[in-house]
Chain A
Amino acid sequence: MNNFLFGRYLPGNSWIHQMSPQSKLTLSFYFVVVIFFANNLASYGALAALIIVVVLLSGVSITFFLKGIRPLIWLIIFTVSLQILFSAGGHVFWQWGPFSISDLSLINGGYIFIRFLLIIMISTVLTLTTTPLAIADGVQTVLKPLKKIHFPVDTLALMLSIALRFVPTLMDEMGTILNAQRSRGVDFGSGSLKHRVQAAVPLLVPLFTGAINHAENLSTAMEARGFSDSEHRSKYRVYRWQGKDTISWLAFLAVGGLVLWIRKH
């Protein structure tokens, strides 16, 4: 878990590290949308070339990406198999009950595999080069226009940053509660269904009680430090839009245009 959410960030000073989180966030989103429009080898090739350039620019060794994919490999294989077995149309090679394999399903299976890889690669670049806090700040910047319709963007961002800050604390406490109840004779993760359902209560009640205590104490401490309104505060961390962001966007737009062009021709 730690590895998934927090340990994933690798400090560095690469081109990608230096980009603003808001453009990394929006570019990742844009990239996933463009993938929807890829429909042949050439368009997938263009996207793959782009992601390879991005990976190289991030300065992160390729083994990190392979490690990131490894735990997902069975899931990918499973989904690809589903795709192959359940696809309709094309020349059918083999059929058994609801399952069939055709030339079209094999090609589609291959594409799905590439889609998986592309999405995992871009999201891995994002999380390896951007701290969770920076991502939260990026979200805040991206959502800023919504302030015009009185959507509480800053409150949301503050809430998110406090939530992220308390995840390790609560995880720690959960570890202690788990041990305390274990030493009182609870077996977690085994036994009858009834037993498993019951075992959730001695774990969750203390976890929630602790969280409520944190919320109360933190509220007091925040107010003592002059907090009254999350929508009227200045900001310590500001990520400015830089030349790197503009160049990246231009490159991504060009590849996106290329994919659409290939699709038409």
Chain B
Amino acid sequence: MPKRNNTLRLNLLAMFIAIIILQTSIPLIGYIPIGPLAITIIPTTVVIATVLLGTVDGAIIGGVWGIITFIRAYIWPTSPLATIVFVNPIISVFPRIMIGLVAGWAYVALKKRLKRQSVSISIAAVLGSLTNTVLVLGLIYLFYKSKAPQLYQINMEKLLPYLIGVVGTNGVPEAIFSGIVTPLIATPLDRIIKRRT
């Protein structure tokens, strides 16, 4: 019958967006605090969307997360990092889109070669999460180098080690977390989706 799968895809994307909105607003399901750091669970959600719905949809969900991060950096920032870094739409949106793309490409490539689906998902999740960290760091550096206008004119030369420190120390546990948790969540969900469509 007409476009059955289009409607389902529309609604699945809508539900993922709703979950991302929840995760950016409720610490308990969005972040895991470890001492002074808070590692975010949201890259995991983006990779789950990628595994279940495909690379393009994963990138869309990543992009939505980025747009929410961008808007919130202005009206409801959650960390000093947000007020300094994520007010730049390229730094807040582009790396998040790339999570979906990189994880998607990795998953598609690995799925054919590896027997265990959970291993493919795990590697894709680690790569997706690291993509985010590396791109955010790279873009901060790039924008600092090119002396682009900033909302809050802070002397980046002195701040750079601090920023790299924060993003880096968050990035590694984040990647480990994604690698462990994503397959545990995505595998049963993949069964459910496959069985019903």
B152: A residues at CB distance < 8 A: 79, 83, 112, 115
B153: A residues at CB distance < 8 A: 83, 87, 108, 112
Given the known interface contacts A72-B77, A88-B155, A228-B3, the answer about A218 and B11 at a Cβ–Cβ threshold of 8 Å is yes
A87 to B1, CA, bound (A): 63
A227 to B1, CA, bound (A): 12
A18 to B158, CA, bound (A): 47
A87: B residues at CB distance < 8 A: 153-155
Taking a contact as CB atoms under 8 Å apart, the answer to whether B29 and A204 are in contact is yes
Does any Cβ of B come within 8 Å of A51's Cβ? Answer: no
B121 smallest CB distance to A (angstroms): 14
Name A78's contact: one of B13, B80, B155 (CB within 8 Å). B80
Does any Cβ of B come within 8 Å of A120's Cβ? Answer: yes
Taking a contact as CB atoms under 8 Å apart, the answer to whether A163 and B158 are in contact is no
Residue-wise interface mask of B (2-33) relative to A, using a CB-CB cutoff of 8 A (1 in contact, 0 not): 11101110111111111101100110110011
Taking a contact as CB atoms under 8 Å apart, the answer to whether A219 and B185 are in contact is no
Name A79's contact: one of B14, B34, B76, B83 (CB within 8 Å). B83
A215: B residues at CB distance < 8 A: 8, 11-12, 14-15
Does any Cβ of A come within 8 Å of B189's Cβ? Answer: yes
A216 to B193, CA, bound (A): 10
A160 to B41, CA, bound (A): 22
A123: B residues at CB distance < 8 A: 74-76
A234 smallest CB distance to B (angstroms): 18
Does any Cβ of B come within 8 Å of A57's Cβ? Answer: no
Taking a contact as CB atoms under 8 Å apart, the answer to whether B189 and A36 are in contact is no
Taking a contact as CB atoms under 8 Å apart, the answer to whether B13 and A159 are in contact is yes
Name A212's contact: one of B149, B184, B193 (CB within 8 Å). B193
Taking a contact as CB atoms under 8 Å apart, the answer to whether B75 and A120 are in contact is yes
Closest to A83 in B: B154
Taking a contact as CB atoms under 8 Å apart, the answer to whether B74 and A166 are in contact is no
Chain B residues 159-197 with CB under 8 Å of chain A are: 159, 177, 180-181, 184-185, 188-189, 192-193, 196
Does any Cβ of A come within 8 Å of B151's Cβ? Answer: yes
A140: B residues at CB distance < 8 A: none
A230 to B9, CA, bound (A): 12
Taking a contact as CB atoms under 8 Å apart, the answer to whether A189 and B19 are in contact is no
Does any Cβ of B come within 8 Å of A171's Cβ? Answer: yes
A162: B residues at CB distance < 8 A: 10-11, 14, 18
B91: A residues at CB distance < 8 A: none
Name B28's contact: one of A116, A164, A189 (CB within 8 Å). A189
Does any Cβ of A come within 8 Å of B48's Cβ? Answer: yes
Taking a contact as CB atoms under 8 Å apart, the answer to whether B41 and A200 are in contact is yes
Taking a contact as CB atoms under 8 Å apart, the answer to whether B177 and A197 are in contact is yes
Given the known interface contacts A79-B84, A167-B18, A171-B22, the answer about A216 and B185 at a Cβ–Cβ threshold of 8 Å is no
Chain A residues 184-220 with CB under 8 Å of chain B are: 188-189, 193, 196-197, 200-201, 203-205, 207-209, 211-212, 214-216, 218-219
B150 smallest CB distance to A (angstroms): 9
Does any Cβ of B come within 8 Å of A254's Cβ? Answer: no
A35 to B10, CA, bound (A): 37
B2: A residues at CB distance < 8 A: 228
Residues of A within 8 A of B (CB): 1, 4-5, 32, 35-36, 72, 75, 78-79, 82-83, 86-88, 98, 108, 112, 115-116, 119-120, 123-124, 127, 155, 158-160, 162-164, 166-167, 170-171, 174, 178, 188-189, 193, 196-197, 200-201, 203-205, 207-209, 211-212, 214-216, 218-219, 222-223, 227-230
Ranked nearest first, the 9 interchain pairs of A and B with the lowest CB-CB distance are A123-B75, A163-B17, A215-B11, A162-B14, A211-B15, A1-B25, A163-B18, A219-B7, A163-B14
List 6 A-B residue pairs with CB atoms under 8 Å apart, sorted by A's residue number: A4-B76, A164-B18, A167-B18, A201-B185, A209-B188, A211-B15
